[in-house]
Amino acid sequence: MEKRNELYAGKAKSVYTTDDENFLVLAFRNDTSAFDGKKIEQLDRKGAVNNQFNAFIMQKLEAAGIPTHFERLLSPSESVVKRLQMFPIECVVRNISAGSICRRLGVEEGKDLNPPTYELFLKNDELGDPMINESVAHSFGWAEPEHMKTMHELTLKVNDVLKALFLEGNLLLVDYKLEFGLFDGKVVLGDEFTPDGCRLWDKDTREKLDKDRFRQGLGDVVEGYEEVGRRLGMTFEY
């Protein structure tokens, strides 16, 4: 497969067309951003770590019956994926309170949420990704109700699969964000699942091993991601 033109450069990944219109190349860069792009830094090895982390997780999800865009690794920091028509929506599940829900509702970090929460946000950095719901997304034509129903079901199924997977590494899956798109009329998981878009805590010490290390200036950000990978049995190539 031949990588062709850059279609889009996001905050952490660049997207390229290929010689096949149904496939794209996702290039994971070292750029790391937080607070809707207001804090940006380059972190050595992060692109390669996230690309290989994402490949590992997407393959686990596919094996569990969740359709994903992942096709294959192209290089340490690039993957071939199906080209999806993305919904401009972020689907967030929380098993433990942290981040924006604490600020929004005035609740403390670390509270078990049972059942887990399911929230939708509009993907729009200028507006700070405002919270929406299915009615709003339907009215504005961002997604059809039947597609949102599938996104909801798949997002919760991902929770079952990944909570159990991370627990094997003595890790708590605190929360995560997913993005979906359509491929041949079917809802498919796109974008990425990496420690950039989820929260993972050591089960015993509650040490943060995800992007909160960057947001909160704790240091050893990529080392935290590598530690998660090591606990799941991943080995990284750089």
**In the complex, which residues of this chain contact ligand UDP (CB under 6 A)?**
90, 92, 99-101, 129, 175-177, 197-199, 211
Q: How many positions of this chain bind ligand ADP (CB under 6 A)?
A: 17
Quick check: 197 binds ligand ADP (CB under 6 A)? no
User: Minimum Å distance from CB 107 to ligand ADP?
Assistant: 26
- Among ligand ADP, ligand UDP, none, what binds residue 78 when CB lies within 5 to 8 Å by partner kind? none
Q: Are 167 and 88 in contact (CB under 8 A)?
A: no
Chain centroid to Cα 215, Å, comes to 16
Residue nearer to ligand UDP on the CB measure, 101 or 137:
101
Query: What letter does residue 1 receive in the DSSP assignment?
Result: -
Whether 154 and 91 have beta carbons less than 8 Å apart is answered as no
Measured from each CB, the residue nearest to ligand ADP is 10
Q: Closer to ligand ADP at the Cβ: 90 or 169? A: 90
Please provide the DSSP assignment of 78-117 as one string: EEEEE--EE-SEEEEEEEE--THHHHHHTPPTT-EEEEEE
Among 3, 15, 34, 62, binds ligand ADP (CB under 6 A): 15
In the window 133-152, what residues touch ligand ADP (CB under 6 A)? Answer: none
Q: CB under 6 A: which stretch of 4-12, 46-54, 114-122, 149-157 binds ligand ADP?
A: 4-12
- Least distance from C-beta 38 to ligand ADP, angstroms? 13
Nearest one of 29, 36, 203 to 130, comparing CA atoms: 36
In three-state secondary structure terms, 154 is: helix
* Alpha helix stretches (DSSP H) within the chain: 46-63, 100-105, 134-139, 145-168, 212-215, 221-231
Residue numbers at the binding site for ligand ADP (CB under 6 A):
8, 10-13, 15, 24, 69, 81-84, 86, 179, 181, 190-191
